[in-house]
A and B are shown apart, each in its own frame.
Chain A
Amino acid sequence: MITPEQRAEFRKHFRYNVGRRLVLDKIVKGIVFACVMIAIIPLIAILVNVFSNGAGALTWEFLTTVPGAVGSDDPGGIGPAIQGTIVIIGLSSLMGVPIGVMGGIFLSEYGNNRYGRTIRFLNDVMAEFPTIVIGVFVFVLVVLTIGDFSMWAGSFALSIVMLPIVMRTTEESLKLVPVTYREAGYALGIRRWRVIMTIVLSGAKNGLITGILLSVARIAGETAPLVFTILGSSQFISGLSGPIDALPLRIWRLSSLPYDSAVTQGWGGAFILIIMVLSINIGVRYIFLRNKEKTFIKFRKQGRMS
């Protein structure tokens, strides 16, 4: 037992300098806000810079027409690049997301053993691969085998880029679902895979979608693997094989041309790419997390009323 004398002695050791602690509290708060501002400055600077440099190029023709001949008066547009980027993001997600999510489920639910640890390690290594290496790999594996650049090769390369990201974020968000919900499911006599597919996955929805969107944003801006797999083109997609265009490639090509109009178009393309990634992000969040947002808004309204 602690005697009253001991207790008085213990109390003497507490700090009572409230004034100093309040100041310290304010200082820490100030540092946190300052760091956030510093982090936001480059973001805003990039957006302003990209928009002010590229605004001159933004017209309807720019978005819809094929690029003009190099050095000619007709500057043309980036239509094929926008089309190519949309198609490639779609195809890579179609390949990368299901496999990545399933892999994440394996790591989280069945991966608590030697196999799981090995795969987790390899997956982390893969996430750190330079993407140009993946480009060369797919070039050798797919492009040389088939004999032509194609959207399939490009999508395959990008799905390899997104796979480890989706897998790891899926695993982490599934692990956050408390074991009590799984047990409640098992206790109802529901089979394990159904418990995972319904109860666990829906509980992890938020983290899952954030992970997928992060990976989509990542591949939308990849250039290196595309050079080796889709090559780039100035025509709209005409078939399943053959080179196609994508925004990062087009931006890279335009910005390295010695003409002012081409450089402006490069900035314009960059702006469009940013807007595309942003709208995919907002759109997907709206579709899948809409109900949650609604309850959140309702909750806030109720909070204000009381």
Chain B
Amino acid sequence: MMETATKVPIKVNFTEDIKYKLVAENISASYDGIVTVKNVSMKFRDRAVTALIGPSGCGKTTFLRCLNRMHELTKNATLTGKVLLDGEDLYSNKVDPIINRRKIGMVFQKPNPFPTMSIYDNVACGLRLNGVKDKKILDEVVEGCLKMASLWNEVKGDLKKPGMSLSGGQQQRLCIARALAIQPEVLLMDEPASALDPIATQKIEEMIQELKKEYTIIIVTHNMQQATRVSDYTGFMYLGDLVEFGETKQIFENPRNEITAKYVQGQFG
């Protein structure tokens, strides 16, 4: 049908210190016998935002879940390929998936704060259950992460309140703070703003711009405006293939592939 473009952007304004934090090589994934990701390779730059766009069911989320070994928790899931984090294969037998999930944080589509925990405990829980006991460190991390998720000013008075008492947008920012608390190096976001109103969405987008300075961020989104606003690189997926991958500007203004052009112009999807 079409050639799966897997090359990194051709534009050569990259400096010598170009660094790929995460490299996916020939990832194919399926569940319940349905192949949802077909031989996708992608490289993610450090301190940059990469967006994955594409119509529903094109395998974006599945691909994202392969990057922190969440996909293998799905029932009847199969996976082939390699994911290199700083050059080390996540799927090699020597590597414990748990350790890598601590390096790769994830934010889900629907806000899912732990229902029985307070705001404070929700953020601190990733640390506590990974063995951090020092109350001073916990306090520092909770405050810092809530500030990074731009939620601190709204909740600093009632950290003891249940996480579920917050509004949808606040809950999602709480989940981002929770993901940041384990001090990851990569942040995967699966349509983090799809259930939120425009103001909450804007706050999250501003936050992504802020977080970009320290993290490698990979964001799945249905919203093409959002992709143009927040991302530096964009990958377009269609029916499990990576059709085109390049700088966001190029993908949206000057797509090389016909299908990409149709999709970004809103002709289908």
Contact = CB atoms under 8 A, between A and B. Distances in A.
A77 B50 CA distance: 79
A181 B116 CA distance: 11
Nearest to A295: B162
B205 to A, nearest CB: 21
Interface stretch (A59-67, A197-205, A259-267, A268-276): A197-205
Nearest to B128: A198
A183 B108 contact: yes
B98 interface: yes
Given A189-B102, A189-B182, A184 B116 contact: no
Secondary structure of the B side of the interface?
A: mixed
A110 interface: no
Given A184-B108, A188-B125, A190-B129, A205 B101 contact: no
Contacts of B106: 187
A203 B114 CA distance: 8
Contacts, number: 69
B178 A202 contact: no
B185 to A, nearest CB: 12
B162 A187 contact: no
Interface string B12-38: 000000000000000000000000000
A188 B179 contact: yes
A17 interface: no
Contacts of A183: 70, 73, 108, 112
A205 B114 contact: no
A189 B99 contact: yes
Interface size class of A (residues with CB under 8 A): 20 to 34
B174 to A, nearest CB: 11
Contacts of B117: 202
A188 B115 contact: no
B70 A190 contact: no
A160 B105 CA distance: 44
A297 B10 CA distance: 63
A50 B98 CA distance: 59
B110 interface: yes
B108 A180 contact: yes
A186 interface: yes
A125 B68 CA distance: 42
Nearest to B113: A184
A300 interface: no
Given A189-B101, A189-B126, A190-B126, A184 B73 contact: no
Nearest to B175: A184
A191 interface: yes
A112 to B, nearest CB: 8
Contacts of B105: 187-188
A190 B130 contact: yes
Contacts of B175: 184
Contacts of A26: none
Interface string B170-184: 000001001101100
13 contacts: A180-B110, A181-B112, A183-B70, A184-B114, A186-B101, A187-B106, A187-B179, A188-B125, A190-B125, A190-B126, A190-B129, A195-B129, A199-B114
Interface of A: 112, 178, 180-181, 183-191, 194-195, 198-199, 202-203, 205, 295
Given A190-B98, A203-B116, 19 more contacts: A178-B112, A180-B108, A183-B70, A186-B70, A186-B73, A186-B101, A188-B102, A188-B105, A188-B129, A188-B130, A188-B181, A189-B99, A189-B103, A189-B126, A190-B126, A190-B130, A195-B129, A198-B125, A203-B114
